[in-house]
Amino acid sequence: MAYYFLDSSALVKRYVSEIGTAWVRNLTDITSKNAIIINRITSIEVVAALARRAKSGSLSGSDASYAISRFKAELVTHFRVTDLTAILANRAINIAETRQLRGYDAVQLATALFIYDELVAVGVPTPHTYVLVSADAELNDAASLEGLIVDNPNNHP
């Protein structure tokens, strides 16, 4: 089993056709047996991204509604959701300061590092079985500096 931590820039590709969509859909397909891990804030960001696309006209209202409904249903069946705890918030504060990331990106990286630490603690052979997936170059650079393996779905047209 492989473990993937996805931020919203990667996960939204499951619901909207763009560069990397086929790759993300394959990665997150329930039959792949991959563990897909997200932070609770990712659910907010994904819905916001889909709703904003409808508002801007780049996605029809009906397509956005369908994508949001599908995401909400899959949230409980497809993903392992990690909540934002005080420990994660404090780690994110430190990451925001040291890596100069935006707030939610710091939370994403703090969560990805926390999950990595948990996997190591239970003996999961990392790092090649644990990957942070994001289309955000700044987040990917910071994650690489922290020692995580990263993959950008935009590199998989």
Q: Looking at residues 29-52, what average pLDDT do you find?
A: 97
- Quote the CA–CA distance of 21 and 16 in Å, as a whole number: 7
CATH superfamily of 3-155: 5'-nuclease (3.40.50.1010)
Domain boundaries, the chain: 3-155
pTM of the model: 0.95
How far is the CA of 65 from the CAs of 47, 54, 71, 90, in angstroms? 10, 9, 10, 35
Start-end of H helices in the chain = 8-11, 21-28, 40-56, 61-75, 86-99, 103-121, 137-145
Per residue in 64-121, pLDDT (tens digit) is 999 999 999 999 999 999 999 999 999 999 999 999 999 999 999 999 999 999 999 9
Q: Which of 79, 77, 103, 80 is nearest to 92 (CA)?
A: 103
Q: Looking at residues 38-51, what average pLDDT do you find?
A: 97
The mean of the pLDDT values for the chain is 96
Q: Looking at residues 126-144, what average pLDDT do you find?
A: 92
Is residue 128 over pLDDT 80?
Answer: no
In this structure, what token pair is assigned to residue 15?
Answer: 């619901």
